[in-house]
Amino acid sequence: MGAAAVFYMSFSEFDRGIPSTRLQKQKLESAAIQRRNDMFARWRESQRILDILRSIKPSQDDLTPENIAHWYGSIENFDWLGSPAVESPSLWFNIRFPVEAERYGNAFLEEKTEFGQCRPLFCNVDLMGAILGGEQSLGHQVVYCPDEGVFYYKDPVLDAFAPTTAAKIQLLASNYMVKCAESFGNKVTILPLLDNFRRVDVLKGIINKAKVILQAENSFFSGPQGMTRCIDGHRITPTTEPAHQQFVKRVMERLPGARITTSEAHARYVAYCNREHLPTMAPAV
């Protein structure tokens, strides 16, 4: 038998003669409203970010209350402050990505201007690459598969990992800079966030770091503990035979005197994968 919940009354509440049962009901209702508000605030921010990575937005039929409640139940114990009100861009990223900041350091090297403003000088591309792995408090996760040369993100609507492009990941990095800049008034010099750190060469450097930091192990999508993928609406379970093995078994045939070049074989392999909605391995360089 579980322990009974402890309920506290303030002296003023006791002095006003409010029945404890009524007061307890009011506080439970208030807590439920706060939980609901937190759930939908996180969901809106989660979907805003995922829509940057998606090629096709999910239909409204997939966005059921049960779907959202299941997603929220897995993340509600992680603190989430949304866009935190802080004094510097580094703190903005540190609060949203505490684990990554602890591992890779502050987001920026900053200085105080003669007018007392905080100005970011240099961007920590290691941290920026790491944060593209997703916010734990939103249930996000992004991985990179070097064999395929593809990024995958976890989509709670699909309950699976879906592929996205490096260009979309780069756009997400750029968007984080914009959202950070929007959080400050005149206490921060935001021009570097909107210009310097969103240059193509800087963003490409961040993506190259992300490919290393977010690299998935070979077993990530295979075996008993593997994750499910959803490609072009087709689900690929961890037990699905790898595409290159399927291709060899179902398409290739050994014939006396027959020859095929590596480039021809790879072209047919890619065509097979596209037809069967399977991920392709990148050609060896």
Q: Tell me the pLDDT tens digit for each residue of 106-131.
A: 999 999 998 889 999 999 999 999 99
Rounded Cα distance, 202 and 33, in Å = 43
Q: Tell me the pLDDT tens digit for each residue of 134-160.
A: 999 999 999 999 988 999 999 999 899
CA 195 to chain centre: 24
Closest CA to 161 of 270, 242, 244, 238: 238
Q: pTM to 2 decimals?
A: 0.79
Domain borders along the chain are 38-213
Structure tokens that stand for 84 in this block = 């935190």
Inform me whether the pLDDT recorded for 96 exceeds 70. yes
pLDDT for 1 equals 41
Helix, strand, coil percentages in the chain from 3-state DSSP, rounded to 5? 50, 10, 40
Packing angle between helix 166-182 and helix 20-53, nearest 10 degrees?
A: 130
pLDDT for 12 equals 59
Inform me whether the pLDDT recorded for 211 exceeds 60. yes
Rg (Cα) of the chain, in Å, rounded?
25
Region 169-180 average pLDDT? 97
pLDDT for 197 equals 97
Confidence of residue 80 (pLDDT cuts 50, 70, 90): confident
Q: Exposed, middle or buried: residue 262 (CB in 10 Å: 0-12, 13-18, 19+)?
A: exposed
Structure tokens that stand for 44 in this block = 């809106």
Closest CA to 72 of 32, 35, 30: 35
Structure tokens that stand for 279 in this block = 């991920």
Region 259-281 average pLDDT? 76
Other beta carbons within 10 Å of 65: 8
**Cα angle value 218/279/50 (rounded, 5°):** 90
Inform me whether the pLDDT recorded for 2 exceeds 60. no
pLDDT for 8 equals 57
Rounded Cα distance, 58 and 226, in Å = 24
Confidence of residue 14 (pLDDT cuts 50, 70, 90): low
Among 90-99, 124-133, 268-277, where is mean pLDDT lowest?
Answer: 268-277
Q: Give the Å distances, CA to CA, from 7 to 22, 23, 25, 31, 36.
A: 12, 10, 11, 13, 21
